[in-house]
Structures are given as C-alpha cells and as structure tokens.
Structure 1
C-alpha cells in the first residue's frame, strides 16, 4: 500500500470547510474538484497518533491519511463510488463510516471523540440506507442536482438523460422540433454542455443534443443549473455531467427487459385545422394520430469484475432498443402512412487500472448507433386507410433536428496523486459520427417537394410522390471531435488551487439539399394581383393559380478550434467564510469550407466569484452568493450556412397542368426574375468579409443569492434568486442598406463586381466594422457602422427566477423533494435558436437579418414558463415493496402571431410580429398549464434474495395531453391567411406503462 502523508502542513479548517452535506439528490463542489471525481474530508477530535484509512469497497483502492495536530484531513480526486472510511489509532480501528462519493462533490466524514465503535451505512445495490451526515453543503457556491443510479432506478422517470435532467429546478422542455432537448434557465436549447466521464459529447454541429450511452450504465448524473466553476465553459445554459459504472472485486452480472406495449398506451390526440382560419378547411381533420404509437422494448445486459484483484477491472453494458408496431399517419396535406422499426444500439466498455494507489488509469469506449428504416405508404383520409407503397427512408444517427449525434467514442483518463499536496488529472477523448439520410421513391421517378397552399378542399390538394419532404443530409456527412484536458491541483495554506487547460477541436462535413431538387409551392394569387416582395412580378390576367420554385443547397467541410485555460482558488478566509475565485480564458477559431479562418476570438475572459457563510458554524444555515460570466463558441453549422457555398433561389411561374405522378407543374412559365435570398447564388463568400472586425464572443452574466436551512435531521429548506443577462450574441445581418448609405456618405462607388456576402456575422445591438472591397479595386474598405447606422434595438435576453424547495433526506424508508420555481425569461432574442418557427440555424437565425424583423420582438421568450412545480420521491414500504412518484406542473408557453408586414421587400413572408397590426411577442396569451404525474411500484421477492426486480411505471397517469407548441405563422409567404395558424404542433406524451423485469447476481 502506498501511503500518502497529508500531515506536512497544518489544516486550519472549520465546519465551513468540512461539513459538506451528503444528500441523495444534491451535492456540491468541495474545493477544486475534477468534473468526474470527488473528495472525502473531515476532522477527528482526538488526532494524536491517528490515521484515516480510506478504501474503495468495490476496487480496493486505498489511501492512508495521517492526521495533523488539528485533526483535519482531505483526500482529493477520488473516483466516485462507495468507500469505507476508518479512524485508526495504534493499529486499532476506532470508528468506521461507509459513505458515497458523488461526482464533483465532497463528503464530510468526521469522528467525534466519543466514537468507540464502528458505525456503518450501506449504499450497495438498491437497498440504500441513510446517513447521519449533514444535509447542507456549506462549501459550495454553485447550483446542482446529483442523481445516483439507485435514484434513477427508484424514481419513475423515462430512461433518458434529458428526462432525468428535467427533475432539476429551472429546466424545461425545448421546442418539439428540436428533438426532445431541454432548456436551462432561460437559455436556448443549443447552449448546454454534456459530458461522459469528463469528455464533451455535445453535438458539435448545432449544439443540440448529445451522444448517449446505455442508461443503466450511468453511475451518477450531475445537473449544473448555475454558478459553476471555471473548469466549465462553452455553456450559457447548463451542464449535464455523467459518470459511468465501473468494475470491482466482485463479479457481477445482470439482465433486464423493459417493455412498453402499444396496447397499454393511450391514443395520441388528433390534430385539427383551427376553426377560425376562414378557409374551407375550418375545423377539418389535419392529422389522424390515433395509430401513432409504438411498442417499445429494451433488452439490456451488463457484467463487471476483476481481471486482477485490486488492480484491473472491467465493466461492460449493452442495450438494444426497438420501436415497432406503428400505424403512423402524417398530415392530410402529405397523405402518407409509415411503419418500420427504430433501432438503437448502445454499448459501453470500461477498464480501470489501479497501477498503484497513487496512479489510476481509466479507458472507456462507447458506441451509440440509431437506425431508422421507415416504409412509407399512401394514405386515404376519406376512408382513414392505408394504400399503396410509396418508398422508404433510411436514417442513421440523425433524429429530429440532428439531435442524436451518436457515433463511437474513446476516452482515456489518468489521475496521479504525486505528493501530499499535488494531484494531476489528464484526459483525452475522440469521437466519430457518420450521418446517413437515404430516401427511395418510385423507380426512376424524381420526386420534388410539394406544398399546396391553394384555397381548395383538402381532398384536392397535391402532395409529393417522395416518401418524405424537406431537406436531406448531404451524402458523406460526419462529425469528428477531439478533446484533451490537463489539470493540476495544489494545496497551500488556506488556499486550494487548481489550474488547467481544456482544448477541443470539432470537424464536420455536413450540409443540406432540398429533396428532389426543388420545392414547388402552389398558391391562389392574392387579390392585389401582385406578390409581396416581388415588385417585378405581374400575374397574367385570368391566372387563378401560380407556383413558386425554391431551390436550396449548402454543404462542406468545416472546423472549430476551442481552447481554454483556467485557474481557481477555494480560499478559507475565516472560520465561517469561504470564497471561490476563478478565471477562465477562452479562444475560439472557426474555419470555412476552404480551411480558412473566418472568425478568430482571443482573450475571452470569464471571471467566476462566489462566497459562502456558515452562519452558526455548524452547517445548519448557509447563505451563499456568486457571480460569473459564461461564453459560447460559434457552432460549426455557421460555417456551412454562412461561410460555404450556398444556393437559395426563388422564382414564380404559371403552368398548364400538374403531372399526375410527381405533382410537379407541367410547362412552368416564368413570371418573375430569379431571386437569390440574401445573395445566396451558389458561390462561396470571401472569408475576410464574412464577419465584423474584432467580433465579440457570445457571453452571458449571472448572479445568484440563496440560503439553505436544516430544520431537523431529516428536513431541509432553501431559497435562491437568480438573474441572468445575455450581454453579447453573434448572428447574421443581411441588410445591405447601411453599407450602401456608408458608401454614398464616403463617396465610394459600389462595383457590380464587388463580392459582398448576402449575410454578415456581427454583434447585434451595437456598432460593428466590416471589411469589404466595395469598389472591386483589390483594397478592402473598413466600413464602420454605428448602432444607429445599423438600425437595430439593443440586444435583450434576461432571466429572473426565485426557487423554493423542501427536502426530506432518506431515512431508510422515505425520500422526497418538492421545488417551486417562479421565473421570467424575456427579451428580443432567444439566443442561438428561434423556437418561434423551429429554425435550426444556431447563430444565424432570421431575427437580426433586417431591423424590420425586430419590431415588436420584445416580450416573453419561448422558454418562459412562469410557474414550475416539481416533486419526486420514493417510499420503501417493506424490504420487498418500493413505491415512487414524480409530479410536474408547469404553466404554458407564450403565444405569438407572425405575419407579413407590407412592404415585404426581402421576402421573409410570415416572419414579422405583425398580424393586421402590431402583434408584440407573447401578446396572444399562453398555452394551457401542463400537469404530469408518474407512479411506480417495485417488488423484490425475498425468495430471490431481493436480486429479482419486477416493476411497473405509469407515465402521465391522467392522460393529460396539452399543447406544447403551436404554429405561430399567421399568413403564408404570399400574404394570404394561413389555414394552419394556431394548429398544435405537439402535445404532452400520452399515458403509457413500462413493465420491467431485472435480475442481478454476483459470484
């Protein structure tokens, strides 16, 4: 055994530094910890000749800590898990405590002078018993929730990371069009960071979603909702940090089957046209959805154990998930039906090597593959029956809005306890994801996209002969991510210091192209005889129908390099006061499709400050505060959409007929010139002109003030106030008028040959300087424009929240937590996304393209759920029976009305906060409250030594299906009233049952 001596310097720590609460739901940072490990620390009243012996119960990893005169001790960077901590004197064990070390948290283990016998608590398996340790963490300044594997098994929650994240306060579901992602503290759903064993697994292209792993392989899930330290960056929303299970000295095996049968699922609500649209479709059926449900089955296996006892361990787990049995039906416009299995294969393998007790090596491999093979049929809405086969679609690692990146990941981590005071951590990870989106239609037929906006009965509307519509992923699309970190921790006097680097490189080949080569949109000509935005268009007399052709294509290789350095200090100011001081310095570089840097940002300084006051010095009342700045890099998607070749072409036609097979127009005759939206004519822009000079990074400031109070051994209450203000964003401006005005003012003639991008990256709400060769003479002009020249309002996104909670610690029978959050998220920009229309273009939304789009944009944002109530817990009624509950009640999302403002010179259609007059953001009321109750019951028969588990979960017990988001576009692009304005886009998930059989055994 390698003995590390911690007594070389005096530890002057009080209860503030040592009394770290250990609760089953929440933990806190304890002095400069890695994001995948934890700390054990405390004191002994009688330290003379004593040593604290720490042993990982599962792996045998041990550390001896000789006690200094003041009795204070601390062991850092411990792998999460179950530990036995013993106080030994003269070779005799005086007292013993069994504790759980949580991710990024500290565990206080103190020994009173009267301790004369061992006391133990067990956290083995799911038979968890409570501890008498303090419930309040007086050494942390952040806001976090930590969920253990035992809790995730006991609380009725869906088996996915985002569903578990929704248990944390201030976390709400994002727009359904983004694929089940979540929003933290008023930020958009693309502003979060996800980690597995310290490796960043966030989608590198859009920031939406993350690669996942077998849910049962999660040992702990940490959810940071604010105030986190300088080790974390690239997030202005929240952080989800996962650690996986690992092998130990006992061979363990297990298998489970989760079955959610279609027959036990409630029918999804049908969707109808709104009754106030004024069209022939009023109140008619839009989508028949009663068959849109599947049978979901999960088969899971795992094994773990020692390859060499106390030295080398293995853990492996695999899930096969299958969804099938759907009679899914699309809407009445596309008139198709679909079925076919969705398959997800997840695996994880982990090797832990205790080289010595001072050197640890961890190797992790993860596979995440999602396959969707869909067979598509025509569907008759008159008879509500399936008809002929149309084709099929094969997708891999795409998911809704590319929110499931998937792929293969490999992670290596080294931890070295070099001296009594010095610890180092090093990590390297690599991932690769392939994206496939193949569509097969009728043999030999090219099927364009078709949209029919004519004011005719639904039965007469035309649809595409393609099995799916929209834009498809470019062939060969893939993502690659490399991430390396190196941290050094050093303790000196009353300071615990930590410095580190955190570098990541993300490369992507991606892009989109319209299915079938073009999108044809049929419409009835407006009564005015002209189409808004096409002043050159004159509709021929007698024409009762026109069609618009739209062609879109954008693809290429892009790269983002993100580097960061950080330093932090946990400083014990006095007996009752502790300060956290942190600084993160970040650098971002974005490369275009030709490998040239088009945005470079250096010295993005993010200070993080915090203080905590242990009022009475006994960890029963804590008051804390923190302030911090948090940055985001520009997602890779920006380079594809803004820095690479892009074609976005529109043109209007009349026609002589409609092809009966493809539904494309016959003999289309142009009645307008070609319009390139925002100048996207298929050529790549000059990288020097793509962005404003000295572009400021995307960043947000945050302030938190709160308290926690222990009422008794079991009960804790607390309150917290949070204020967030978005200070800077990066988006694109597509308005050439300020540049033209500058040229006229400065006597510069804009040449027809000048290469001016259609859209430029800039910092909205303030002045910007652009570098452009306006007169095509080979010399770049510095076009300096003030905020007034650009004509935009100040950037505004603010988040206010008040959080109240009450928690009952687990006492061998019952655990529960209830939390109420009042919050207000408001401003004129959601951030990276625009959920009003479900736009998937992070950092290049349409919000800031033209000043006219921002008129009326200030108001409650899509994430503004004013009232949130969450409560969850479980009751161990007997050793055999356990019952769980999970309740969520939430107020509805604000409603908007987006219409056409005349004149719509730039052809943005129904994109303005204007509907027959001003319609400011959020002025059309709110969607209804949503209430969700999930219950569970688990039976572990004694005859199987409680190793067999039979469990039933019911989700959305009362089958309340409320609107989650709606179609907010009031008019079509041509200015006519949209028949789908106000139509629900998604509802709460219907009631379902999940039946689980699980068996665990050891050798």
Structure 2
C-alpha cells in the first residue's frame, strides 16, 4: 500500500502500525483478550490532548496529554479509528488506524529527523490486509487474521483450518477429529475464546464450540510467549471476536457449495502385510464412494438501533451434508449414509451507554445433528443389501471434538478515568450430547471383533449398526466463566490485575454398545494365554471368546480460579520490559461431589523484553520466558474418580447365534478379571491421588528478531524451547505399595480397598494415602522415584522459525515461512496418539514401568520440517487470486507389541516387537505431505463490487498422503495383527468450493 503523506519523512513503524496490525506479532500492552489498545506519545504536549473516534460506531475518547506526552487508551473494541492530536480545541494531525484483537497500535505524533512535523495519514485506504509493523512493544508470538484475509486466502471455513496458517501448528491425530497441536503439545492442551469467553470442550480439552465462520471479525492465534492474563494452556490460544453492528445498516447472503462430483475419490485402504489367509493387496476398506455434497446457506444483518448508541449484529448458517455413501471395512461389512445438519447462529448487541461505559451482549448457538442409516454391505458385489439400523448423534463429533451448545456472554467496559479502565465479563454455556443407536427390533447386538485365522468372508460381525462405546444417556456440559480486570497507567508503567474464574460441570461417560464386546480368536500355539495369568486352554478347544464389559458415567465438576498481575515498563525509548505473574487454583470433584484433587498457589511467572535496536522500529530483538499451567479435564473424574466397570472373562463355546453372532451358552474357562480393579464401585476419594499433587505445567523460552527491509518487506527469525516439567497421569502398579508395606512390617488385608489406579506425578517421588487394612486407618505411603520405578518425565520441543513477508501494497500480499522443529520425549502429555486414546491425564503410558521401556523418542506431533506459504494478488479491481501452500514432513512410526511376560494383560502396548526392543520412532517416518490450494474471486464492477463469485480448489494436485497408521503389532491374544501398518487416514482429497456472496448497505 503506497503512502499518501507529503513533506518530510515519517517513521516506518508509525505508518505500518497506523495502517493496522495483521499477520505480524502485535503488542502485548495490557490489552484485553477481546479488545485492543492505542498508545503513543507526542512532542510539545503542553495543553494538548489525543482524541480517539471509532469511525463505525461514533464512540469517542479524549485523553489530555501529560508532560512527557505519553498516552494510552485501553480496552477498545476492535475496528477502524481516527486518532487526532488536538490543540486549542482543534485537530492538527490525524491518523487512520485499525485496532486488532489483543494487540496494541502505536500512534505517535513526533517531529521527523528533518524537523518537519509528522503529517497526516488521512486518505489512506485501511483494510484488513493493511501493512503489519515491527511492534517493539510486543513480547509474544501471534498471528492475527481478519475477516477480509480469511475470505481472500483459500482456507477451509473452520477455525482450526485457519489456525494451521500459524507457524508450529500441525494437525492432530485423525481419531480426535479436526483438532490441532501447537508447539509440540498434545491437541488437548489449547484454549479457545469467543469474545473473551472460554469455549474449550470442558470434558476432554479437545475442540470447542463454534459459530458461523463468516461472523468472525478477527481470529488471533497465540503460539507462545503470551501474558499472565492467559492460563489453562500449555499449547496455544485461539482468540476470536465476532463482527458487530455499526452506524450503517448492512446485510448480506452467501451460498457455498462443494459438489460431490468435483471431489476426488478417497484412497482405498489395503491390508499391509501377509498374515495367514490375508495377503498383500487385499482390500481392507473400500472408500472410493466416501464423498458428500456440502451446502451452506448464510445470512447476516447489522446496523444501528439508535445511531452512535445501540447496535445489533445477527448471522446464521445452515450447513447440510448429503449424498454420503460410506463403506466400512471388510470385517464389519457395513455401509452408511445420511445427512449431517449443522445450524450455527450468533447475535450481538453493543450499547455505548456513554463514551465512558460500554455494554456488549452476545448469544451463540451451535447444533450438529448426524442421522446415519446403516446397511449391510457385500464386498464381493460392492453393493448394499439390507438396512441394519440407524444412529442419531447431537453435538458429538469425532471424539467429542465439536461440543456445540448454546452460550450467552455479557461484557462491561468502563473508562473510569483517563488512566483507569475496568473490564467485567460473565458467560455461561450448556451443551447436550445425544448418541442413540437403533438396530434389529427386540435384539441386543453386542460388539464383535473376529481375530480368527479365517478368510474375510467367514469373519463374524455384529448385528449392531455401529460398534464401540456410546455416550451415556443424558450427557451434557455446563460452563460458567467470569472475569474482572483493572488497568491503570502510572507514568512509564502500564499495570493490570484481574481474576479469572471458571466452573465446568459435566454429566458424561461411556458404556459399551450392546452390553459387551466379544472377541473371537484361535487358541495360542502354546495352549496358554499369557497375562491372565497363564490361562490354560482346555484340550481340544479350537476357538475361544473373550467377553469385555465396560461402563463409566457420572456427574463431575472442575473449579478453576486464577489471579494475575502484570506490568509493561517502558524503561527507555528503546527498551520495554514485561513482568507478569499468574496464580492458579484447581479443584476436581468426583461423582459424589467430593474434591479428589486440589491444587493451590500454582505460580506462573512471565517475563519479556524488547529492544528497538536503532530506535526507529526497523529492527527489533525480543526475548521472553514463562511458565504455563494446565488443569485436569473433568473426564478424569468420570474415568478415574467415579464408578467404573472394566470386566474381562474367557469362554469356550460350541456355536454362535445366527443373528447376533454372540456365543450360545458359552462355558467360562477363566474367572472374571477386573482390569486395574475397576469392579463397578466408586473409589475412596482420599486414596485417588498422591498428596500435594503438583499441577501440569511447562516452561517456555523464546528469542527472536524482526527486520524491516525497504517499505514492503519484513524478515525475521525466532527460536523456541519448551520443556514439560510436570504432568498428572495414573499409575496402576501396586507393587511399590506392597513393597513399602513389607518394609514397614504392615500386612495388607485381603479386602483392602486399594484403588486399581492412582493419580500421581510421573518421574518423581509421590506420597499416597491408603487404607491397607480396610479399618479406617490411612497410611501415608512415601515412595521415592526409585521405589516407583518410572523414568524421568520428558517432553521437549525445539523450534527455529524463519519467515519473509511482503506487506500488502494494494496489489499483493505474501508470507512464507520455514519451521524446523523437534518434539521428543516419553510422554505426549494429556493424550496418547500412538493408539488414539481419548483419556486425558489417564493414558496407559504411566500405568506400569514396563510400558515406558523404549518410550523415549520423537513424539506424534514431531514434524521435523514445515513449509507454509500463503497470499493473494489483486490483479484488477474485479479479479483477486489466492494461494495456500503446505509442505510437511511425516509423522514418526512406532511398533507396539507384547513384551513377555505380559503380567498386566496390556496386550500389544509395549515398545517391543518381533522379540526385541522397538524404541519410539524406530520404524522410520510417514511420507511428506504436500498441498497446494488456489482460489479465484470475481467482483463485477456493474454490481459495484458487492457481488462476489469465488472458486476455491483445495489440494489441487490431489496429494493423498498417509497421516497416521495402525501401530499395534499383535492382537490382544498374541498373534501377529493383520492390520499392523494399515493407514488410518490420508490427507483430504481434492475438492472444489463454489461461493456466491452479495453484501449491500441499506
């Protein structure tokens, strides 16, 4: 964008910031997470003031300048402003600026080196793609995307797809849904906000409630170094503000269509190895018809109910996915189709009570309905046969990653004095989860897994339309969140303090579909099943069946409180220091409403400094260090603190039911084994976790620089180091407790209620409180790290980020970056993507020391090389072209087998294969992923450019690369798994999205 000032020169940073921060790192000057800041200074300040006017809403503030000429306007709603230097009641200089979410904009009125006064920037066209700046007041790492940019870059219409544009952000495991991983953390360690209200899934930490994508005004992605106002995240933060009404009535409509006929066929999945009667090249899942027609209708309207005072914005999307034709694998032999319906809406009222008092009210609705019909499927003829049943899901999504629901948010901002600002926010949400299955009338259909060594055509399948665990009836989540912040400017110090409290209540849980899971297998050649323990198979038995029953459900609650204070200290014109401290408290309640984990005074210091090397904002060097805590998701209480049944038993049988494929009159050949003691009773909350349990936390260090080259180019580099210091997981090993009792001459009663698994801090000593004699007396059992036998906790993330950016100059914007990173250790964190386990903080990793042998190595989020490039070109006033390129190295591969003797009955869960250790990542890597997406937009002049016709082509060259594989080497009973190495997902095939959009003013 060319400048239009005359006479003399002006600091490049002032021009760039005045035009609006976008992709570059923004200021962290004590701004609210749903608003922005304008600050600066002026020469000859005596008797002068600065007036700030919102161009769209009429909101106005005037700040008298102190003797040093510095001023600061905090908690400003994002939008377009005019900032004027006022002398003797008249504006002598004016700037046009764009205030972005969570950022500071430097607007200074200073004399240039030539002696001429800085001249007006009036007349410069301001848009969402305005020039970024090297902002010497920022210490964090952020990407800000405006509505205009999200429309111009070819990117899928969802928040996580936009987040993937930021450096160091990669897709999570496909089994968790469309989630993302930030900076080596697991995908359950992020926080999402809409207008300042936390919308992260409270049950698992995966995913968030959404809104109409077109209603997003700005999306901020924080990838590191964020200040003390943010907590409950060791990954990243996604911060969204919605559009709002202005003094002009506006309306618009759009239609987006992704036709099935213009989508490439997904790749079929084949068995990867020879095993018995299964040979290389045998199809496992036919997927060529797994395509849909996707259609979106969107409307919005906004404007003033009372000019300059009261504004309204409302938008709604109706999304429908039809003509699906999916096919499951050859073992389950089913096909499915049915519509997916999603209704998203948002309504917002903004009331400028006075220029000093602002009230915002937001309502958001997000409902997802999935009605699926299940058919039997004949792989020989590639055709459906009969209807098996149906499944109805509401606000479920894969792994509960799209919680949905309805939420309401209220926010008040008061400019009490020129130096004092207060912000208050309250929000609440409720989400219902429904998962209903209907199958054959009057028949209970258990889950069936057939591991027998027989041809695929003879494999037994369930009569149920779906298999697996279903969500408990009546499941729902409720979240309440309130915040109160005070900001005060005192000389060179900008101070801020606040409280941030959240309560999340959930009723949830899972139960196995059909009441049980039956697994069929041939007896091992040894005649024994190891780990049960050493179960001998009766002579003459040719087939065995294992019955597994699982059930866990209840009401749980998590209370999270935090207080923070921070100071941005302008030490000198060239140096700024940031100092912050966050204090957090977490309480987790079990299904009986009793606290079982309580953590107080979790102190998280945050420090940062920036150096404006030449004093003209053309070269910035910055550094920061911080500690970040994470609370335990409420799912832990359901799985670990509530009643849980996990029952296993082996049977011999003569025949199976022709309808259900369950054994007829099976004969037990083993007793009932309760995995980890889960016998259906609720554990004693006093014994559930170690005493003085440390919170989950991580330390982070960043060092970087930004350099401006000429008027259009910016380059920079950044190094990041993250180290996970403490996690909370569960251990299920009673041997250290038994050894302690023996050392202390204490006999353990046979009826002692020792929990099957205990929450603890891996990699260090822990003290447990347990009643060893079932007599009401609790022993404090202090166990050292050596007593427990686990290795040190290890998760480290190293990254170097290089970027080059061409700022928008009315024709072209482009940004390209390369990230070299390494994520390695023996724990992914809250999740275990190796097996797609969705049990945050109760993964199987730390259950027994033997499971950790060989666990150190490259973690699932390790993508050693990342290349991202995106931009757009305004070829003419009518034509705009966009591009988005991603090149990503592959995920490391593992081999998980059975390490003999499998005393703990964990089956194929050890880093041990083919009779030898198989350390994490030792099986190489999956292939690189390459994706190029292009877009073209036409805005005809005869519609005054209000009509937009756009085509996006995603994954132009249809590069479908493997994203994750089955890493389980053996079946649970020992034989080689025929699906080891089988692809679980590929990158999304090529698709085309056609959009017609019309915006108009009334």
In the superposition, the TM-score normalised over structure 1's length comes to: 0.97
> Partners in 1 of 2:549 and 2:121 — Cα distance?
75
The Cα offsets for residues 860-902 of structure 1, whole Å up to 9 and x where unpaired, read as 0000000000000011111100000000000000000000011
Shift of 1:52: 2.5
- Match status 1:119 vs 2:119: no
**Match of 1:839, SS?**
coil
Contact 1:20-1:138 within 8 A present in 2 as well? no
Give 1:161-172 correspondences, 5 Å limit. Answer: 161-172=159-170
Q: Structure 1's 277 and 577: CA in aligned 2 closer, same or farther, altered over 3 A?
A: farther
Moved more, 296-305 or 40-49: 40-49
Matched residue, 1:794: 792
Shift of 1:27: 3.7
Contact 2:507-2:556 within 8 A present in 1 as well? yes
> Partners in 2 of 1:668 and 1:283 — Cα distance?
36
Contact 1:97-1:120 within 8 A present in 2 as well? no
Q: Structure 1's 508 and 107: CA in aligned 2 closer, same or farther, altered over 3 A?
A: same
- Match status 1:300 vs 2:303: no
The Cα offsets for residues 787-830 of structure 1, whole Å up to 9 and x where unpaired, read as 01100000000000000000111111111110100000000000
Q: Structure 1's 769 and 16: CA in aligned 2 closer, same or farther, altered over 3 A?
A: farther
Which of 477, 482, 491 is the matching residue for 2:480? 482
Shift of 1:282: 3.4
Where does the alignment leave 5 or more consecutive residues of structure 1 unmatched? 1-13
**Match of 1:765, SS?**
coil
The Cα offsets for residues 570-627 of structure 1, whole Å up to 9 and x where unpaired, read as 0111221111000000000000000000000000000000011110110000011000
> Partners in 2 of 1:117 and 1:732 — Cα distance?
62
Shift of 1:494: 1.2
Shift of 1:950: 0.2
Which of 216, 219, 226 is the matching residue for 2:217? 219
Matched residue, 1:668: 666
Contact 2:17-2:97 within 8 A present in 1 as well? no
**Match of 2:912, SS?**
coil
The Cα offsets for residues 893-934 of structure 1, whole Å up to 9 and x where unpaired, read as 000000001110111000000002100000000000000111
Contact 1:19-1:138 within 8 A present in 2 as well? no
Shift of 1:26: 2.1
Matched residue, 1:822: 820
Shift of 1:541: 1.5
Give 1:655-694 correspondences, 5 Å limit. Answer: 655-694=653-692
**Match of 1:882, SS?**
strand
Shift of 1:117: 5.4
Which of 600, 615, 618 is the matching residue for 1:617? 615
Matched residue, 1:990: 989
> Partners in 1 of 2:847 and 2:42 — Cα distance?
64
Matched residue, 2:941: 942
The Cα offsets for residues 757-791 of structure 1, whole Å up to 9 and x where unpaired, read as 10000000011010001012211011111101100
Matched residue, 1:507: 505
Matched residue, 1:759: 757
Which of 352, 355, 375 is the matching residue for 1:377? 375
Matched residue, 2:63: 65
> Partners in 2 of 1:115 and 1:919 — Cα distance?
66
Matched residue, 1:7: none
Shift of 1:87: 2.9
**Match of 2:81, SS?**
strand
> Partners in 2 of 1:337 and 1:536 — Cα distance?
40
Shift of 1:108: 1.8
- Match status 1:409 vs 2:407: yes
Matched residue, 2:82: 84
The Cα offsets for residues 150-197 of structure 1, whole Å up to 9 and x where unpaired, read as 100000000000000000000000000000100000000000000000
Contact 2:13-2:134 within 8 A present in 1 as well? no
Contact 1:15-1:617 within 8 A present in 2 as well? no
Contact 1:497-1:570 within 8 A present in 2 as well? yes
Q: Structure 1's 17 and 881: CA in aligned 2 closer, same or farther, altered over 3 A?
A: closer
> Partners in 1 of 2:954 and 2:59 — Cα distance?
41
Contact 2:344-2:367 within 8 A present in 1 as well? yes
Matched residue, 2:3: none
Shift of 1:244: 0.5
> Partners in 1 of 2:566 and 2:50 — Cα distance?
28
> Partners in 2 of 1:156 and 1:249 — Cα distance?
31
Matched residue, 1:176: 174
Contact 1:121-1:130 within 8 A present in 2 as well? no
Matched residue, 2:964: 965
> Partners in 2 of 1:641 and 1:624 — Cα distance?
43
Contact 1:730-1:763 within 8 A present in 2 as well? yes
Matched residue, 1:11: none
Contact 2:14-2:106 within 8 A present in 1 as well? no
- Match status 1:637 vs 2:635: yes
Give 1:721-740 correspondences, 5 Å limit. Answer: 721-740=719-738
RMSD in angstroms over aligned alpha carbons? Answer: 1.5
> Partners in 1 of 2:62 and 2:764 — Cα distance?
58
Contact 2:651-2:667 within 8 A present in 1 as well? yes
> Partners in 2 of 1:752 and 1:314 — Cα distance?
67
Contact 1:345-1:369 within 8 A present in 2 as well? yes
Give 1:185-264 correspondences, 5 Å limit. Answer: 185-264=183-262
Shift of 1:534: 1.8
Give 1:788-867 correspondences, 5 Å limit. Answer: 788-867=786-865
Matched residue, 2:319: 321
Q: Structure 1's 143 and 115: CA in aligned 2 closer, same or farther, altered over 3 A?
A: closer
Give 1:170-569 correspondences, 5 Å limit. Answer: 170-277=168-275, 279-535=277-533, 537-569=535-567
Contact 2:25-2:140 within 8 A present in 1 as well? no
> Partners in 2 of 1:29 and 1:933 — Cα distance?
32
Contact 1:172-1:863 within 8 A present in 2 as well? yes
> Partners in 1 of 2:119 and 2:657 — Cα distance?
91
**Match of 2:638, SS?**
helix
Q: Structure 1's 18 and 602: CA in aligned 2 closer, same or farther, altered over 3 A?
A: farther
Matched residue, 1:144: 142
> Partners in 2 of 1:79 and 1:639 — Cα distance?
39
In the superposition, the TM-score normalised over structure 2's length comes to: 0.97
Q: Structure 1's 846 and 88: CA in aligned 2 closer, same or farther, altered over 3 A?
A: same
Contact 1:629-1:701 within 8 A present in 2 as well? yes
Shift of 1:64: 1.5
Contact 2:129-2:148 within 8 A present in 1 as well? no
> Partners in 1 of 2:590 and 2:839 — Cα distance?
16
The Cα offsets for residues 918-974 of structure 1, whole Å up to 9 and x where unpaired, read as 000000000000001110000000000000000000000000000000000000000
Moved more, 21-30 or 932-941: 21-30
Shift of 1:122: 2.9
Moved more, 19-28 or 599-608: 19-28
> Partners in 2 of 1:211 and 1:590 — Cα distance?
22
> Partners in 1 of 2:272 and 2:551 — Cα distance?
34
Contact 2:142-2:220 within 8 A present in 1 as well? yes
Moved over 6 A (4+): 14-19
> Partners in 1 of 2:500 and 2:959 — Cα distance?
45
> Partners in 2 of 1:180 and 1:474 — Cα distance?
23
> Partners in 1 of 2:962 and 2:463 — Cα distance?
31
Matched residue, 1:8: none
Where does the alignment leave 5 or more consecutive residues of structure 2 unmatched? 1-10
> Partners in 2 of 1:985 and 1:15 — Cα distance?
50
Contact 1:57-1:83 within 8 A present in 2 as well? yes
Shift of 1:28: 1.4
> Partners in 1 of 2:222 and 2:457 — Cα distance?
51
Matched residue, 2:100: 102
> Partners in 2 of 1:118 and 1:149 — Cα distance?
23
Matched residue, 1:886: 884
Contact 2:95-2:120 within 8 A present in 1 as well? no
Shift of 1:208: 0.3
